[in-house]
Structure 1
Amino acid sequence: MLRRLLGFNLFWRTFAWLALLLAGTGVAWQVAFRALESEPRALQAAQQLGDMVVLARTALSQVEPIQRLVLIKSLGRDASIRVQVAELRDDWRTYDQDPFARQVALALQQRLGQDTFVARSVNGQGGLWVRFMAGRDAFWLRAEEPQAHLGISKAWWLLIVLAGTLLGSALIAGLINRPLRALSIATHRIKEGEYDSRLDEHTLTNEIREVNRGFNRMARVLAKLEQDRAVMMAGISHDLRTPLARLRLEAEMSVHDEEARNAMAQDIDQLDAVIGKFMDYARPGELQTQSLSLIEAVEREAASFRDPSQIRFRIRVLPSLKVKGDPTELSRVLQNLFENARRYGHQKDQPARVDVMATAKGDEVILTVRDHGPGVSPAILSELTKPFFRGNTARTAASGSGLGLAIVEKSLARMGATLEILNAESGGLVSRLRLLRAE
């Protein structure tokens, strides 16, 4: 799931990369800051501690040995500083557990002399211990260990970096994604035939402003083309069908030969059907997606083919199957598939036999329409849905418009469905429709 989001969703992909960049930058900045801060703090700590050692050594050197115990007790009243006499049996550990401690110890030795020892514990008592000489006697001065870094604890620092990274990444990703999201929505509306989509042409970003202006110009041109196309199609339909109606009337009244009159009527009906195909392919229509009973739609369109001498159906669709779609588009799809099977899916002098089956698979309903005709060459299966394409002679008739399967594919795409065409193993053509399932 995360891989899909990062791979296909621009907001989350941008957010992830920005979060990684900012988090890495924050960690790198912290490491660099601590590395640069370590040496100055070590020198500062060594300077302060060295001053205390010098003061203690001067004070102890100026008094008599018998009075040193009194002075040592007075110095020990401050809990943060303690002085005691060094003995040969003292057990102490070198103050070199990390680079910062080694820097402090080296700075103290440079300040106080090479005979100075720095320890992190003496006789099991922790702290920063400095061994120095006052006259002939050796003493230990204990102070609190200096902190390597200023500021808040590591845990709080990581939480602040994480929170700042997430908030900053979300803000930046949102700012980047917002105009692209608006462009995506507007493009989707254009695809659905809503040409009134407009994008903000006054945004502050120059590149986005130019893209929005170009998109709005394109939308206006498409709207004008769509308006001209609608007027042209309406005119073509009217101008062609009016003379066809007159021709039919004249044929009925003037031609006395019944066979010739029927042939002329069939030619006129064929021309009218071809015009209807062109109109169906060019007409966008408005989708009214709803839950549809698949068996009712199939039986209704199959019933319109009333001549059993031309086509016969065998329908196996469960009454409970429902699909999402537009009733007009679904009727158009089934009508074209059945008409295609009636024309081309029959053997010589036999009616076309059409099997209609449906199965539910996940969130899809797979509707299969199969005829028992000669099929087509596998090399041209992918070409059958192209407008005006005609297959081989086994499945081609002069009366066709070459738009039936193109209309099917276009109508299915508008409903979010797909079409697959293949040859059946035992002969015939199979049209497999993947429709969206409705509850």
Structure 2
Amino acid sequence: MRWFWPSGLTGRVALVLILALITVQLLSLPFYLRQQTSEATELYQHSTLQRINHIVKLFEQLNATQRRDLLPALNSPSLSMDAYYQLTQAESKATDEPSLAATLSTQLDRNVIVKHAKQDGSMLLDMFPSQQRIAIWVPLKDNSWLRFSTSSSLPSSGWIMHISAQIIMLCIAVIILAIVAARQLTRPIRTFAAAAERLGTDVNAEPIEEKGSTELRKATRAFNTMQQRLQSYVEDRTKMLAAISHDLRTSLTRLRLRTEFIEDEQQQRKAEHDLEDMEAMLASTLTFARDDAGQEKLVNLDLAKLIHTLCDDMEDLEKDVIYQGPEALTCLGRPTALKRAISNVIINAVNYGKKAKVTLSQDEENINIQVEDDGPGIPAEQIEKVFEPFVRLDQARNRSTGGTGLGLSITRSVIRSHGGDVTLKNHHKSGLVVTLALPKVS
């Protein structure tokens, strides 16, 4: 039965509501049919009895010739009649419908005989008992008889079609109502899911509008409060690091001035080199903590053109970089942040290997940017560690290439802010393969 059970919450709620409402309808259907049948039968019998009563009173005042002339005009599909002067032995036997005979006898003030009329098609009669024809024998004052032929209730075929149409229309209305109700009930969950996904890629996203039921407004308020606290945390962290950076830059400036008074030129160059490293680390740290990717707006950009430009720039610097992929590929992203993230990976590839191969492709879910180098690679147990800030693997990377160990940390932060991720693996021959996966936005 797993195929019958929808995977989405909207489908499940709709199915439960539909089954519940239809079950209630089916349980109440016998009572409804019984009531409708009783009311319809009572109405039909009442009108038929009134008509018979009027015809009998009219025929009491007519002679035989007038009766024969009037019979064709009074016959109808629901009530036909004939005039007899004597009854056969079979027709004069006891009545088949005592209750109906008693009612007619009381209304007409005479003894009435009611018998089942002979008809063909017994299967149809078994299926629709109300199609059973009955004969009503009414005596007149001149000892003649009128025979009326009618059904015991309403004609079943039309009545059943009418009831069936009502039930079908009711079921359609129930299904539509259940689907609409299910969508309304699950809309808050879809809203929260979209807001949570948006928060994962943009901490400065607009808060959710507080509306709906009391519980929904309370949950929305809690979500907005959480988002506001995250924004405040990021902002406070950035301000703190900016203040620290300012104070450290002041100290570094003083140290740089003091290095001019070092008489040993070799020691002076070493000190200046250390100060330059410290200043570069400080700038990288501030950039990483500021997380500009979260401040930049999402726009439609040509990712293929951006990567092609980065590869051309590296070729202008006489670096061996090859691009493979489409000439145009549009995605939703933050241009400056993506440029920094992809550039970090390409620079690492050309710094730690002789060449880099950049491949852009897409599958059903992601847009993939793959950067391969022919360097020494990274030990498998150290692959996850290189994403930590300031981590450099001396055995795998040459210290003389420079850098602060923040490149891959920044790259992962940027790609994850777009809803994607970064993975590393060693090539089966040599070198490292870095894959940046960005989700496709339909």
TM-superposed deviation, 1:339: 4.2
1:419: which partner in 2?
422
**Is it true that 1:298 corresponds to 2:310 in the alignment?**
yes
**Is it true that 1:320 corresponds to 2:327 in the alignment?**
yes
d(CA) in 1 for partners of 2:435, 2:82: 96
1:11-26 mapped onto 2 (5 Å cutoff): 14=13, 18=17, 21-22=20-21, 25-26=24-25
Cα-to-partner distance string for 1:386-426 (whole Å, 9 max, x where unaligned): 43485866336777655432321221233454433222111
> The residue matched to 1:254 in structure 2 has which SS?
coil
1:357: which partner in 2?
359
> Structure 1 237/23 Cα, relative in aligned 2: closer, same or farther at 3 Å?
farther
Percent identity among equivalent residues?
A: 20
1:33-432 mapped onto 2 (5 Å cutoff): 33-39=32-38, 41-42=40-41, 45=44, 71=67, 74=70, 76-80=72-76, 81-84=79-82, 116-118=115-117, 129-132=133-136, 141-143=148-150, 146-147=154-155, 149=159, 154-155=164-165, 158-159=168-169, 162-163=172-173, 165-166=175-176, 168-169=177-178, 172-173=181-182, 175-177=184-186, 179-180=188-189, 183-184=192-193, 187=196, 190-191=199-200, 192-194=202-204, 197=207, 199-200=209-210, 205-251=213-259, 253-254=261-262, 256-258=264-266, 260-285=267-292, 286-288=295-297, 289-292=299-302, 293-299=305-311, 302=314, 312-317=319-324, 320-324=327-331, 325-341=333-349, 345-346=352-353, 352-359=354-361, 365-381=367-383, 383-384=384-385, 386-388=387-389, 390=391, 394-395=395-396, 402-432=405-435
> Contact conserved, 2:134 with 2:149, CA < 8 A, in 1?
yes
TM-superposed deviation, 1:177: 4.6
> The residue matched to 1:333 in structure 2 has which SS?
helix
TM-superposed deviation, 1:337: 1.2
TM-superposed deviation, 1:114: 10
> The residue matched to 2:377 in structure 1 has which SS?
coil
Cα-to-partner distance string for 1:133-187 (whole Å, 9 max, x where unaligned): 6689997522366155599664466346525652x34653454355445545654
> Structure 1 415/356 Cα, relative in aligned 2: closer, same or farther at 3 Å?
same
> Structure 1 207/361 Cα, relative in aligned 2: closer, same or farther at 3 Å?
closer
> Structure 1 212/107 Cα, relative in aligned 2: closer, same or farther at 3 Å?
farther
Q: Counterpart of 2:396 in structure 1: which amino acid?
A: R
> Contact conserved, 2:311 with 2:323, CA < 8 A, in 1?
no
d(CA) in 2 for partners of 1:227, 1:121: 92
> Contact conserved, 1:295 with 1:321, CA < 8 A, in 2?
no
**Which shows bigger deviation, 230-239 or 317-326?**
317-326
d(CA) in 1 for partners of 2:241, 2:356: 34
RMSD across aligned C-alpha pairs, in angstroms? 4.9
Cα-to-partner distance string for 1:42-68 (whole Å, 9 max, x where unaligned): 4665676578779989999x99xxx77
> Structure 1 428/134 Cα, relative in aligned 2: closer, same or farther at 3 Å?
same
> The residue matched to 1:373 in structure 2 has which SS?
coil
Taking structure 2 as the reference length, what is the TM-score of the superposition? 0.67
**Which shows bigger deviation, 213-222 or 384-393?**
384-393
> Contact conserved, 2:252 with 2:275, CA < 8 A, in 1?
yes
> Contact conserved, 2:320 with 2:350, CA < 8 A, in 1?
no
TM-superposed deviation, 1:431: 0.8
> The residue matched to 1:273 in structure 2 has which SS?
helix
> Structure 1 227/121 Cα, relative in aligned 2: closer, same or farther at 3 Å?
same
d(CA) in 2 for partners of 1:418, 1:317: 21
> Contact conserved, 1:313 with 1:354, CA < 8 A, in 2?
yes
> Contact conserved, 1:57 with 1:133, CA < 8 A, in 2?
no
> Structure 1 116/331 Cα, relative in aligned 2: closer, same or farther at 3 Å?
same
d(CA) in 2 for partners of 1:290, 1:359: 17
5+ residue gaps, structure 1, are: 89-103, 347-351
1:101: which partner in 2?
none
**Which shows bigger deviation, 187-196 or 278-287?**
187-196
TM-superposed deviation, 1:275: 2.8
> Contact conserved, 1:421 with 1:432, CA < 8 A, in 2?
yes
> Contact conserved, 1:7 with 1:13, CA < 8 A, in 2?
yes
Q: Which runs of 4+ in 1 moved over 6 A?
A: 50-60, 85-88, 104-107, 109-115, 134-139, 397-400
**Which shows bigger deviation, 249-258 or 358-367?**
358-367
